[in-house]
Amino acid sequence: MNDHFLNVVDVEATCWEGPNPPGQPNEIIEIGLCVLDTRTLERVGKHSILVRPERSEVSEFCTRLTTLTPEQVAGGILFEQACALLRERFHTDSRPWASWGDYDRRQFETQCAATGVRYPFGTRHTNAKRAFSAAQGTTRRYGMAGALRLAGIPLAGTHHRGDDDAWNVAALIVDLMKRDAWSV
């Protein structure tokens, strides 16, 4: 049984500097996932799943923010395939999971509802941003990079890349676990 694993998820989605162009919803273009062993407090896996958008395009702004180009995501898999992969390879429908804030959870809910794709996660989701704020004794919501600075943890990789952000959020969760400030 893999009940001692936590999936830490961070998504990147199509985005624009201003409002979305007509007919172009935000769509997931990268699912970053870090598997955290909650017994050993080790990050045991770091994964990036590129997802080909079907109803929107990767803007220049999005590429500047994420480093992901239209050509890179065009080589990705379809959203439905990505959700199936999450369930099959990472047991996302049975493992607890966490993300920095509620954006990632809401983006999956919205995109699944809009496309008729089965939601890939179970019900045990923890908002790591809220847990971090509670551990600080404040209601202030820190961005991931600011939380890392506050915790004295160096930012690894490229900010706004799903796999690197999931890896960094997992490091913050480990810190919370060591301080007995995390519950699933």
Q: What is the pLDDT of residue 183?
A: 82
CATH number (domain holding residue 79): 3.30.420.10
Residue 122 has pLDDT above 80, yes or no: yes
Task: State the Cα angle at 168 between 172 and 24, rounded to 5°.
Answer: 120
**pTM (whole model) above 0.85:** yes
Residue type, 119: Y
Within-domain flag for 68:
yes
CA 168 – CA 8 distance, rounded (Å): 9
Mean pLDDT, the chain, whole residue set:
96
Q: What is the pLDDT of residue 1?
A: 46
Within-domain flag for 183:
no
Q: Give the single-character DSSP code of 19.
A: S
125-151 per-position pLDDT tens digit: 999 999 999 999 999 999 999 999 999
Q: Between β-strands 28-37 and 42-50, what pairing exists: parallel, antiparallel or unpaired?
A: antiparallel
**Per the structure, how many domains does the chain have?**
1
Q: What is the pLDDT of residue 14?
A: 98
Within-domain flag for 43:
yes
Within-domain flag for 184:
no
Within-domain flag for 104:
yes
The two structure tokens encoding residue 168: 């960094």
Q: Could you list the residue range(s) of the whole structural domain that residue 162 is in?
A: 5-178
Residue 2 has pLDDT above 70, yes or no: no
Task: State the Cα angle at 125 between 122 and 126, rounded to 5°.
Answer: 165
Find the mean pLDDT for residues 40-66. 97
148-182 per-position pLDDT tens digit: 999 999 999 999 999 999 999 999 999 999 999 99
Find the mean pLDDT for residues 32-45. 97
Within-domain flag for 156:
yes
59-114 per-position pLDDT tens digit: 999 999 999 999 999 999 999 999 999 999 999 999 999 999 999 999 999 999 99
Three-state secondary-structure class, residue 108: helix
